[in-house]
Amino acid sequence: MDLQMAEQKVNEIKTLLNQYGYEYYVLDKPTVPDAEYDRLMEELIELEEKFPNLKTPDSPSERVGGKILDLFEKVEHRTPMLSLGNAFNEQDLRDFDRRIRQAVGDEFSYVCELKIDGLAVSLRYVDGLFVQGATRGDGSIGEEITANLKTIKSIPLRLRENMSLEVRGEAFMPKRSFEALNKAKEERGEDLFANPRNAAAGSLRQLDPKIAASRNLDVFLYGIGNAEETVADSHSKGLDLLDRLGFKTNKERRKCKSIDEVIEYVNSWVDRRPDLPYEIDGIVIKVDSYSHQSELGTTAKSPRWAVAYKFPAEEVVTTLIDIELSVGRTGVVTPTAILKPIKVAGTTVQRASLHNEDLIREKDIKIGDQVVVKKAGDIIPEVVNVLAEQRTGSEMDFVMPTHCPECESELVRLEGEVALRCINPKCPAQIREGLIHFVSRDAMNIDGLGEKVISQLFAEKLIRDVADIYKLTHEQLISLERMGEKSVTNLLKAIEASKTNSLEKLLFGLGIRHVGAKAAKTLAIQFGSMDHLARASKDDLIAINEIGDKMADSIVTYFEMEEASELIVELKAVGVNMEYKGARPVSVEDSDSFFAGKTVVLTGKLEQLSRGEAKEKIEALGGNIAGSVSKKTHLVVAGEDAGSKLTKAQDLGIDIWDEERLLAELNK
């Protein structure tokens, strides 16, 4: 296929995918099977890989997630994203109505909308093309999350008209997506998300867009931030315009002529909200006319023309059937209340964390108790208290075990901690969680060896410790469910490639208590090899600025364990690198580099270096990389599309370099 034929085919596929996606994700009226959509997407990706020049910023392939980011840039909102004042009862709503009437008279109407429980976002379009997406942040400055927002299939990458405007909306996780995500996390033994809002926010703040793409997020647009020309004269007409442009808006909105109609609308949703496929935590009421909104104005924090009615927190009574225990990667044993299933604020609650033994005693919780359950902030499941007066005498005290529920090892309570902990390094639960941690992105980063595969391998007794990962064979992997020839080949290549990782990746992957990714790199730089670190004394360790007593004790204890020594020997035997391979920072005293002792801020997109590469090179020459510009900043390196950091640097008179100047200095 030549370039001209490929371009024609790509355009045909993009048109079909955009139409199918709009029908499915915006109109909720799919016209083709999922398999046909997936087939077209695969064909598009293959063509774009073969002809890279044909890939455009509005390609549907952008929705699968791109390269991992180094950090989120700050974005200054052209029009502030204000928060809303709250109303908690009918009187609050009538007081709000009275203030509006005093200001603009009686000839006006309201628009009522469901208050989606998610993350407020801003989307900017130039000539119809989606160019930037950001979080609300503090209302004035948010974080750019364009790559993550592109993975939300209901957000159009190109509008149906070539219009330039900024729109605001609420990104959220549907209940079905939330339940599937937490079920998967529970199967892997990971901490669960407390609610869909946290899950959505956490997904959109991942530096790897593929994670956001896997979470099946959605969005409702609820307003226009600004436009290059007047596009509507009222909020309701603005929403109609968003519909025409291809945005997804919430169709449950209603235009009301009086506060009585508003109150009727609010009351109608108090009982109906559990039936929605997404979470809401209230109703937003806005004055419809833009001219009236302008006349009413805003306070420093919120508009005077809008208010958010918040639903009261719902409390229900159910039976505490049992208390289960789970063992995490670090050995902490956590009790969880198993409840008779009951709906609270729209979701079915069956479990609630009890945190630790002290909380159980403090609330006098017994198995079989009738307990009051609510969602703190109308969201987080919580056992509020027990109804002791309803006890029948059949209730049983809960006693934390003295031995691990997984391996029967004696549990200990470390000094200064309330949690009981299993310290057996061979505990199956800890091993399984440790294996999952070892292959994670910030550790050994073995692509294709996800949590489900690890759990399968562990259940089949094909791996007992991390060294066994490097002994896996083609025959063992091909026998696993959903593992085809290509997947197995790629996985074995990824396992082999991980052997060459620098020491800090391995150190973090070993899961030594208190040693995070940053400390692992500090240790790797300081000691250079696993052998040198293993021989280090506590005094050697605490002599390093970033290493405190607790971490030093933990490191020494780890390397004193016979099991740890045996594991290191095994990893060496299979060829895993034990040396630090990165650049070594030069001390300010020893460096004659321009960067020595200077604070540098990177902003915008660099062409020849990634942000991570530039950071590493500058730090290796004694410089410090900062995330924000201040009077203490010595230099700002500005790439393409540099934003508010560049403006602030100009205002403060700080030196500003382009990438060419940076490279020239680095190459000296």
Q: Which of 110, 227, 114, 246 is nearest to 167 (CA)?
A: 227
- 115 part of the active site: yes
- Interval 217-227 mean pLDDT: 88
Tens of pLDDT along 151-193?
Answer: 999 999 999 998 889 999 999 999 999 988 888 877 776 777 7
Give the pLDDT of residue 168.
95
The pLDDT of residue 587 is above 60: no
Q: Euclidean distance between the first and final Cα of the chain, in Å?
A: 46
Among residues 14, 74, 115, 521, the one annotated as catalytic is 115
Per-residue pLDDT averaged across 3-32, rounded? 84
The count of other CB atoms within 10 Å of the CB of residue 274 is 15
pLDDT tens track for 420-472? 888 887 788 888 888 999 998 889 999 888 888 998 899 889 998 899 999 99
pLDDT above 50: residue 195: yes
Domains and CATH numbers, the chain: 3-64 (1.10.287.610), 85-310 (3.30.470.30), 315-397 (2.40.50.140), 428-498 (1.10.150.20), 503-573 (1.10.150.20), 599-666 (3.40.50.10190)
CB 130 within 8 A of CB 158: yes
Which residues 6+ apart lie within 8 Å of 357 measured at CB? Answer: 335, 400, 418, 420
pLDDT digits (tens, 9 = 90+) for 255-303: 999 999 999 999 999 878 888 999 898 999 999 999 899 889 887 678 9
Task: Report yes or no: 20 and 30 within 8 Å, Cβ to Cβ.
Answer: yes
* Residues 603, 658 contacting (CB under 8 angstroms): no
Alpha-carbon span 559 to 568, nearest angstrom: 10
CA separation, residue 592 to residues 248, 477, 589, 612 (Å): 57, 53, 8, 23
pLDDT band (50, 70, 90) for residue 228: low
Q: What percent of the chain has pLDDT over 70?
A: 95
Going across the sheet that includes 624-626, the strands are 624-626, 599-603, 635-638, 655-657
Q: 398-401: long-range contacts at Cβ-Cβ below 8 A with a sequence spacing of 24 or more? A: 398/323, 398/335, 398/360, 398/365, 398/366, 398/367, 400/333, 400/335, 400/357, 400/360, 401/325, 401/333
Per-residue b/e over 585-608, b at no fewer than 16 CB within 10 Å?
A: bbeeeebebbbbebbbbbbbebee
Tell me what pLDDT residue 378 has. Answer: 47
